[in-house]
Structures are given as C-alpha cells and as structure tokens.
Chain A
Amino acid sequence: MKNMYLRSSVALLCGAILSACGGSDGSLQIAGSITGLTKTGLVLVNEGNGDTLTIAAGQPTFTFQKPVSVDDNFNVVVQKPGPVGATCAVSGGSGKANVYNAYNVQVVCTNDPRKLGGAVVNLKSDGLVMANGADTVSVTAGAASFVFPHTIGDGSVYGINILEQPKTQRCTITGTAVGTIGNQDLIVGTGTTPAVTITCADVPAT
C-alpha cells in the first residue's frame, strides 16, 4: 500500500518535472510581490509577450494572466507614466522563464518625496522649534522660512506644531497646519506655497 502511494507520487513528480522542463506550451505565469504602493495608476507590462496588468493601490501580489513557456524571454516593466506621485522599480523582472524566476518578480514603490515647511514673520528671538511629529527644526532669529529636515511621501498627512516658543516672543500658526501633502512641496519658494505661516510677537519681560 505504502509502496503504491510512493510509486504513484514519484510518477506524479516525474510528470510535473517533465512538464516543467520540456513540456512547454505556456506552463508558467509570471508573478511576484509589490510593496509600498499606496496609489492607483500602476500598470505592469511583460514586454516578452505584451501582456499588461493593472495593479490596485495596496495590492500585495500580482500574477500575469497570459502564460509563458519555459525559456521564453520575459521582461516586466512599469508602463509609462506610472502612478502619479510615486516611483516604482522592478527587480528580478527579466530573463528566460523557469520555475525559479517566474514567480519571484519584485516591485517596490516609493511615494515621491515632498518638502514641508513654512514662512516666518517677525522672529527676533532664538529658541523657536517646530515639529511635525518626531521631525523637528530649530528656527533662529531673523529667519524668514523653515523646512523640516525629513521629506515626506506624496500623499502623506502632516501636523505642524510649535514645540518650543522663542525666548522673548510668542508665535502663532496660521495656514494649513494639519493636512495632506499633494504633488508639490509646501515650502517658501518659487512656485510653491508654504504649509503654514508662523507670526511672532514680542512679549513684555516679566
């Protein structure tokens, strides 16, 4: 009984191996994983056979529908223009198809970096520290603007607060202190609008 099972499973295995190597009318489906995709608009193309595949935001894996044969050339690329505000890169996406490489294509997407900052008015004292969560920036007397040291990804939320007030002044925030960053930097600059304006006023010494 045991032997029968063993034999039949060996036979099955042989069959599977043979079909994997020799048999070849399209037994492989190119597949892989996707990380970091928070946006729509990603379309993958297998340039080997022209197959295209639309990927949804947040989708963790993908499988091309059109099968390819062993030793067929495949080359998975991101169809232009790609998702707006993100950049996706493919690794392990090309070669002659076999069971080892066909299912292991990796797509890594990163939302494009955006700068976050603000305008500063009437800051005559040192000590002002701005925070966006754990990201902080010290703003010195006389500064007319500030930019947080870390960029944030396109589409990220942010929340700007005054962590420390300057020594002899009190500052207030106006503008969009809490929001979502879009397709451009929110800083003082040509063609950009800062997220917030910090206005500082003298306070009488106590």
Chain B
Amino acid sequence: MKFSYAGALVALTLASLLSACGGKAQYTVQGSVSGLTVDGLQLVNGGQTLVVPKGATSFAFPQQIDYGTEYDITIGQNPEFFTCGVAGGKGSAGYTVSIGAVVRCDPNSYTVGGTYSGLVSVETTTDTTTTPPTTTPTPNTVTLINGSGAQVQLSSATATSGTFTAATLTNGEVYSISILTQPKNLTCTLTNQNGVIRAPNSVTNLTLTCVPST
C-alpha cells in the first residue's frame, strides 16, 4: 500500500517535471503590497502596466511569463504624495518556485518650520581655571512642541536667529506648535503655529520672535 502511494507520487512528480520542461511552465509576475492607503500606484513590467488600487495587499500582472523569461517590476507611477519601492522585483522566471516581489508604500514627509530671531544669551559663564579667566555666553534655549508629538530645542549657541523645523508630518496632518519652555529673561511669541499640511508644500511660515522680558 505504502509502495503504491510512493509510486504514484513519483509518477506525478515526473509528470509535473516533464510538463515544466517541455510544456513551458508559466509564471505569474506577482507580489505583496503594503502601506497603500491611496489610489494611483502603477507597476510596470516589460511594457505591461498594472494599476494597483488602494488597500491592495497583493498584485499580479494578468499576462504570465515563460520559464526563463526575465522580469523587472518597477514603479511606473507613485500615488500622489506617496513613494513606493520594489524589493525582489527583478529576476528570471523559474529561478525561484514562484515570483514574490515586495512593494512598500510610504507617505511623503513634509516639514513644518520657519524663522526665529532674538534668541540671545543673557548670562555668561566664567571659567576661572584658565589664566586669565575666560568668560563665555551661556546658551539660552527655547523648546517648541507639536502637541504631545515632536519636540525641538533652539539654542543661542547655534545662532541667535535662523530657521527651524518643528515637526515632520504627512499630507493632510494637522500641526499645532506651542512653546513648551521660554528662554531665560526673554519672551518669545509664535505666529502661524496652526495649520494643515497641504502637499507638496512644506510649511515655512512660522515666526518665533524673542524679545527681552519686561
């Protein structure tokens, strides 16, 4: 009984092997997709274009390819404000049992920031171990937060004025920047601190103005 099962299995295997050699095995150019929350992705393989809808977790090109045919899956078009990449998308059909490319999509990042001014040092530190003693300005800092999310500290040691980035977000996300800690002896005010990310534009219009406290 056992032997006849084995025999049948061998026969089947041989048959499938033969068909693979002679009958030109066909391979589906396919793979998995992750992070695709929007429409607009187009994959390309050898002149064929495949539209992959939002929410898809897999894809397969309709036309199969023969054993030994080269395939090279590339991004024909990224969804708007997303960037997708293909891993394992290039090879020769039959080199692996089946083709399994991995497509991953991530939303593009946009920064929220602007310019700051008046962040001066108001104290000095004297190092008495040198001769003569050296006096240097003590860095004065202000900390900005995007709610309970991103946090950035600006320091007079870097520059008393310049540009800053307070948060990095994706299209459609809300930002709402606050001053968590004020610098010593200065009062800073923030303008344009609230808004929504409208890709493809980053936000650069925040202004942080620091003046001596009264």
Contacts and interface: CB of A to CB of B under 8 A. Distances in A.
A204 interface: no
Contacts of B180: 157, 159, 178
B95 to A, nearest CB: 35
Contacts of A161: 176-178, 193-194
A102 to B, nearest CB: 35
Most B CB contacts (10 A, CB to CB) among A156, A160, A178 go to A178
Nearest to B177: A159
B82 interface: no
Interface residues of B, number: 19
Interface size of A as a range? 10 to 19
Contacts of B193: 161
Given A159-B180, A161-B193, A178 B145 contact: yes
Contact of B174 (A136, A152, A162): A136
B10 to A, nearest CB: 39
A133 interface: yes
Interface string B113-125: 0000000000000
Contact of B147 (A132, A153, A162): A132
B132 interface: no
Nearest to B196: A163
A134 B194 contact: no
A90 interface: no
Contacts of A133: 145-150, 167, 174-176
B98 to A, nearest CB: 33
B159 interface: no
B160 interface: no
B169 interface: yes
B148 A162 contact: no
Contacts of B161: none
Contact of B146 (A159, A163, A177): A159
Given A131-B194, A157-B151, A178-B179, A163 B145 contact: no
Interface in B135-165: 145-151
Contact of A157 (B148, B174, B177, B194): B148
A148 B170 CA distance: 20
B146 A134 contact: yes
Contact of B176 (A132, A152, A156, A157): A132
B39 interface: no
A202 interface: no
B174 A159 contact: no
B147 A134 contact: yes
Contacts of B150: 133
A135 interface: yes
A134 B173 contact: yes
Nearest to A135: B147
A160 B173 CA distance: 16
Interface in A127-165: 131-136, 152-153, 156-163
Contacts of A159: 145-148, 176-180
Contacts of B148: 116, 132-133, 135, 152-153, 156-159
Contacts of B145: 133, 157-159, 178
Contacts of A132: 147-148, 176
Given A131-B176, A133-B174, 6 more contacts: A132-B147, A133-B175, A134-B149, A135-B148, A153-B148, A157-B148
Interface of B: 145-151, 167, 169, 173-180, 193-194
6 contacts: A134-B146, A135-B148, A159-B145, A159-B178, A160-B178, A163-B174
